[in-house]
A and B are shown apart, each in its own frame.
Chain A
Amino acid sequence: MIKIFILNILRNRVRTLIVLGFSFFSFLTCFYFATNIINNYLQVGQLGAYFGESSSDLYVLKEIYVEDDASAGEDINYTKETIKSHKDILAGGFEQTDAGIDELSVDWRDNYNFIFTDPEYLDIIGFSVSGAELLPFVLDGVTYLPAFVSGKYKDIFEKDQIYTIDRTGAKIIIKGTIENEKWLDGFLDGKTRVVDINDSILVSFPDVDKTDNMTQLSTTGCYYIKGNVDASLVEEIEKTGDERNIKYVLDNVGEIIREQEARDKDTAGFQIKLAITVLICSALTEIAIILAFIFLGQEEFGIKMAFGNSKKQIIAFTITEYLSIMGLAFILSFITENKLISNEQEYMRAPLKSTFYHWATPLVLCIVILTTICISIPSIIYIKKYNPCEMMRDVT
């Protein structure tokens, strides 16, 4: 039976290839857009969840102009200290970077991922580790930074063990682990993602970093201020900037997320329209091609009926044939989309793959079934109406 089937598809290979090509293209379009749209939607949702309900009175500090890079560390820290001096304000930032560890690294390439953060930032986002747990303490004149590890680092770092960051000489002490937590990937803008914390060490900034130029410049886009942010505070921040020739802006986090939502919605609307257009156009083309081939080969139905096939069998056979072509197109587009995602930037892969498997695939599968039905109906009607005796009287 399967052999007959494959033979039949080979016999009609021109038609099969055309239909397969159109279906592949339209299913791939659906896969691509569905994955992106759903992924964007999920990502924005995660972003909202990450910042919690507080995002409307949460602001992010960005510097848009720095005159003197050489003193930027001191200058930016000056502003941050000013902000922190307000009792009703919670403010903090973070930096993701890598560094060697004296006790573990064999050479300078042997680095570990760090999330350096102000303890206050953990309280702003409501992290599972509280800010207080990250506060440094002094023992015998040495400052220790409590640290938490995630992912595979849990097997590398021992609890209550002390390690030394090679770049700054800061001592960290492992206090616990982080499970299933997310972190913001870079600066908060239109493309920000919330990603799983993979292998990382979470620790507060060593004192030297607080005035380090590089560190401070890269944290301003990730510096969050929560609480009573009023005109006077904004003015104060601007004033500290003016004193040191730095220009700051404050953006509302809730607004950034809303803007991103709106942008995603616009893109989604456009992509959905495009996908539907592609689907309908290719389905119509496929129907036209299939009907043309059926019309050209209608004598074959008559012959089959004259030698023992019933109409039902022919219809069932035809539907199974379309179903297998569509199935093949589905598999091919699935593989292609999978490949496309694998070529994406690394941080995008995991969320895209997850969306692709859990949401886009079932959705496209429904579209495949729907398309098969749409394509089959005209053929079924045609075959049902076909009178096999036409073949008997059609003398060539």
Chain B
Amino acid sequence: MIIELKDVKKEYVAGGEKIEALKGVNISINRGDFVAITGSSGSGKTTLLSIMGCMETATEGDVRIGNRDVDTYSDREKSLLRANYISFVFQNFALMDKYTAYENIELPLLNAGVKRRERKKRIHWAAEQLGIKDQLEKRPREMSGGQQQRVAIARALASSPQVILADEPTGALDVDNTKKIMEILTDINKCGTAVVVVTHEKEVAAYAKRTIRMEDGCIV
């Protein structure tokens, strides 16, 4: 078991008003899983992903990562989880403007304490997988959306995580690039990495082995 959520609730307080983003969610992500999460806007998909990735803590319920309760992890350990156990891919790519592609991919490796030589090896390997070897010295602004998302996936892949959590990874891409990116994620999944993809698009969800639908903070 990589990630397991039991009866997870998440409340936000905005302007004195309580918003229940998750109303008791049960989900588990296993080794080799490929899960698509669909649902209308505001149904809680990003919230679910952020809790699975330890970016936020649940208001109620159990979250277990690597067969350990997240409450027992220190802040530092949670950060380390995101450096080498869980990786994100975002709709807006989330690349740092001032850094080159190489340096962007290097970020989680640096944080995981990977040595310089090994970092270089892994970055080149990941770039090779995504066909962006000749883009490594470019900055995000100098690349197309498709190329940027490849860099972002290379970053997620380079640290060899157990699971990649992708929040609408194709949301900003055209049909062609969507297809290519999903094929890449499928390949990654075939090598054993679990993949969770949040998406609005049926075509994207079709790549997954199973699909979960969310509505108003619940899995249906």
Residues of A within 8 A of B (CB): 4, 11-12, 297, 299-300, 302-313, 388-389, 391-396
Residues of B within 8 A of A (CB): 46, 49-50, 53, 55-56, 75-76, 78-80, 82-84, 87-88, 90-92, 94-99, 107-108, 110-112, 155, 167, 171
| Interfacial chain B residues near A393, Cβ < 8 Å | 46
Whether B111 pairs with A308 at a CB distance below 8 angstroms is yes
Q: Known contacts A392-B167, A395-B171: does B55 contact A307 (CB below 8 Å)?
A: no
Pick the contact of A389 from B56, B78, B107, B112 — CB < 8 Å?
A: B56
Whether A392 pairs with B49 at a CB distance below 8 angstroms is yes
Nearest CB in chain B to that of A396: its residue: B92
Nearest CB in chain A to that of B81: its residue: A308
| Interfacial chain B residues near A302, Cβ < 8 Å | 94
CA distance A304 to B97 in the complex (A): 12
Q: Known contacts A310-B75, A392-B55: does B46 contact A303 (CB below 8 Å)?
A: no
Whether B79 pairs with A309 at a CB distance below 8 angstroms is yes
Whether A299 pairs with B94 at a CB distance below 8 angstroms is yes
Whether A308 pairs with B90 at a CB distance below 8 angstroms is no
| Interfacial chain A residues near B87, Cβ < 8 Å | 307
Q: Known contacts A308-B79, A308-B84: does B91 contact A395 (CB below 8 Å)?
A: yes
CA distance A308 to B80 in the complex (A): 5
- Could you write out 24 A-B pairs with CB less than 8 Å apart? A11-B98, A300-B98, A303-B95, A303-B96, A303-B107, A304-B96, A306-B53, A306-B82, A306-B88, A307-B82, A307-B83, A307-B88, A307-B107, A308-B79, A308-B83, A308-B84, A308-B110, A308-B111, A309-B111, A391-B90, A392-B49, A392-B55, A395-B91, A395-B92
Pick the contact of A307 from B50, B75, B155 — CB < 8 Å?
A: B155
Whether B92 pairs with A304 at a CB distance below 8 angstroms is no
Question: Which 3 residue pairs are nearest across A and B when measured between Cβ atoms?
Answer: A308-B83, A308-B111, A310-B79
Whether A310 pairs with B107 at a CB distance below 8 angstroms is no
CA distance A302 to B107 in the complex (A): 12
Nearest CB in chain A to that of B103: its residue: A7
Whether B108 pairs with A307 at a CB distance below 8 angstroms is yes
A267 to chain B, nearest CB (A): 47
